[in-house]
């Protein structure tokens, strides 16, 4: 998720201030993982495909009056902007998609944060495009390449294009894609939680931050009386994967939503979650605590919330402060499974 003053957008803005007119031109443009920023004012009136699959990010752009899309850009463009995410394979895929769509002489401009691997992402972009010009600011790198078909590495382009495709997770039958949490292998914490879910789950439930649907599939696969299972997930690509992975399960309902804003369901019998957390000091478990609040608020009295978390994250005080009782069901491999019982 991007913050309101994302340094990648700030770096791009200051790059543009140094190169006025760099985004001008009437041809179509595409922005991969689009973010709010002053650069948006330099884009209109050309047609622009704003691609953002993160719900809070998409909502921030929609509030600016932009039409945000969750389908990857697929039409020719004379300008492509890529905001690099923490998912390297996804970024390479976006480079390749952009390089494929660009007209000859068209510009690819990338903004990447240093702590998300900007130096290496810059090298990879140069390999693909045959060279880049670089500008550094706000702990980010902005690099620019013009499409020259003679310099383009077509082998890399094909490999990275295919790299964004669906990917089976070994021995699970689950499908995933780059850009999703734990996309290559099941998360250890989620597996621990699945092992400690009781056999008597029944009625109406929710999976908060459902990802590609692993926990939900575990719940729906066992012989239980599940009437409704609501999957809430902010990453549209993950929800697409979950839809695919839970095909044929009529109890599953899919919500592209920011859980921290609260849930549109109530009086649930159970909630399961492996909430997102930031490893950075400041944010610590704030996002996860918001998940706990949303989950407990949606339960009926006597309802149960099952949560897995890194052992050091302090969710129990939040649970108790909200008037529920917290109990540890299991601890292993650096994780703990907590049951919160709503009074
Ligand atoms: C730790 S992962 C768990 C994924 C999945 N349940 C699993 O077990 O593999 C947390 C998930 O929460 C999603 N997420 C992050 N912030 C969110 C938010 N504000 N609202 C809804 N989902 C969010 C992430 O995209 C990610 O898929």
Give the per-residue pLDDT at 182.
94
Q: Kindly give the pairing relationship between strand 324-332 and strand 252-256.
A: unpaired
Give the per-residue pLDDT at 42.
87
Give the per-residue pLDDT at 244.
98
Residue nearest to atom 18 of ligand 1 (CA): 258
Class of domain 7-163 as given by CATH: alpha beta
Q: Is the CB of 213 under 6 A from ligand 1?
A: no
Distance CA 307, CA 193 (A): 7
- For residue 56, which atom of ligand 1 is closest to its CA? 19
Closest residue by Cα to residue 308 from 209, 200, 199: 209
Residue 248 φ then ψ, to 5°: 90, 5
Q: Kindly give the pairing relationship between strand 335-342 and strand 324-332.
A: antiparallel
Q: Is the CB of 7 under 6 A from ligand 1?
A: no
Q: Determine the distance separating the centroid of ligand 1 and the alpha carbon of 141, expressed in angstroms.
A: 28
* Range(s) of the chain covered by CATH 3.40.50.150: 7-163, 167-342
Give the per-residue pLDDT at 23.
87
Distance CA 15, CA 141 (A): 10
Q: Is the CB of 211 under 6 A from ligand 1?
A: yes
Give the per-residue pLDDT at 282.
47
Distance CA 263, CA 202 (A): 19
Instruction: For tokens 């000859």, name the residue.
Output: 104
User: For residue 29, what are its two tokens?
Assistant: 């443009």
Q: Tell me the pLDDT of the chain (343 aa) as tens digits.
A: 555 579 999 999 999 999 988 888 779 999 999 999 999 998 868 899 999 999 999 999 999 999 999 999 999 999 999 999 999 999 999 999 999 999 999 999 999 999 999 999 999 999 999 999 999 988 999 999 999 999 999 999 999 999 999 999 999 999 999 999 999 999 999 999 999 999 999 999 999 999 999 999 999 987 769 999 999 999 999 999 999 999 999 999 999 999 999 999 999 999 999 999 765 444 557 899 999 999 999 999 999 999 999 999 989 999 999 999 999 999 999 999 999 999 9
Q: Is the CB of 235 under 6 A from ligand 1?
A: yes
324: number of Cβ within 10 Å = 21
Q: Determine the distance separating the centroid of ligand 1 and the alpha carbon of 75, expressed in angstroms.
A: 30
Q: Determine the distance separating the centroid of ligand 1 and the alpha carbon of 99, expressed in angstroms.
A: 30
Sequence-distant (6+) residues with CB within 8 A of 266 are 297, 298, 300
Q: Kindly give the pairing relationship between strand 202-208 and strand 225-233.
A: parallel
Distance CA 123, CA 153 (A): 13
Per CATH, the architecture of 167-342 is what?
Answer: 3-Layer(aba) Sandwich (3.40)
Residue nearest to atom 5 of ligand 1 (CA): 211
Residue nearest to atom 9 of ligand 1 (CA): 211
Instruction: For tokens 């499908």, name the residue.
Output: 175
**How many Cα neighbours within 13 Å face the side chain of 212?**
24
Q: Is the CB of 291 under 6 A from ligand 1?
A: no
Give the per-residue pLDDT at 76.
97
**Ligand 1 pocket: which of 1, 86, 181 to mutate (most atoms <8 Å of CB)?**
181
Closest residue by Cα to residue 229 from 198, 204, 266: 204
Q: Is the CB of 144 under 6 A from ligand 1?
A: no
Q: Is the CB of 295 under 6 A from ligand 1?
A: no
């Amino acid at each position: 998720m991007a913050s309101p003053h994302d340094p990648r957008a700030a770096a791009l803005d200051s790059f543009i201030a140094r190169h006025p007119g760099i985004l001008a031109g009437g041809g179509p443009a595409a922005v991969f993982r689009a973010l709010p920023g002053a650069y948006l004012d330099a884009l209109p009136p050309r047609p622009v495909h704003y691609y953002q699959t993160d719900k809070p990010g998409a909502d921030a752009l929609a509030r600016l009056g932009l039409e945000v899309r969750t389908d990857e850009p697929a039409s020719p463009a004379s300008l492509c902007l890529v905001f690099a995410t923490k998912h390297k394979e996804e970024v390479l895929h976006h480079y390749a998609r952009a390089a494929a769509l660009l007209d000859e002489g068209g510009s690819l401009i990338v903004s990447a944060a240093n702590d998300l691997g900007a130096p290496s992402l810059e090298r990879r972009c140069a390999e693909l495009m045959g060279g880049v010009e670089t500008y550094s600011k706000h702990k980010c790198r902005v690099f620019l390449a013009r499409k020259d078909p003679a310099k383009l590495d077509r082998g890399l382009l094909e490999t990275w294009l295919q790299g964004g495709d669906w990917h089976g997770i070994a021995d699970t039958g689950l499908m995933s894609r780059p850009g999703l949490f734990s996309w290559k292998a099941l998360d250890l914490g989620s597996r621990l939680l699945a092992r400690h879910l009781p056999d008597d789950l029944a009625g109406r439930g929710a999976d908060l931050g459902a990802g590609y649907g692993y926990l939900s599939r575990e719940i729906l696969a066992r012989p239980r009386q599940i009437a409704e299972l609501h999957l809430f997930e902010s990453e549209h690509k993950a929800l697409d994967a979950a839809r695919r992975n839970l095909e044929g399960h009529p109890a599953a309902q899919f919500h592209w939503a920011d859980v921290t804003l609260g849930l549109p369901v109530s009086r649930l019998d159970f909630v399961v979650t492996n909430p997102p957390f930031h490893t950075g000091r400041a944010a610590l478990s704030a996002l996860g605590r918001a998940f706990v609040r949303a989950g407990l608020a949606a339960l009926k009295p006597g309802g149960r919330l099952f949560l897995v978390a890194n052992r050091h994250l302090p969710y129990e005080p939040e649970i108790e402060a909200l008037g529920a009782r917290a109990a540890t069901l299991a601890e292993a491999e650096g994780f703990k499974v907590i049951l919160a019982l709503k009074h």
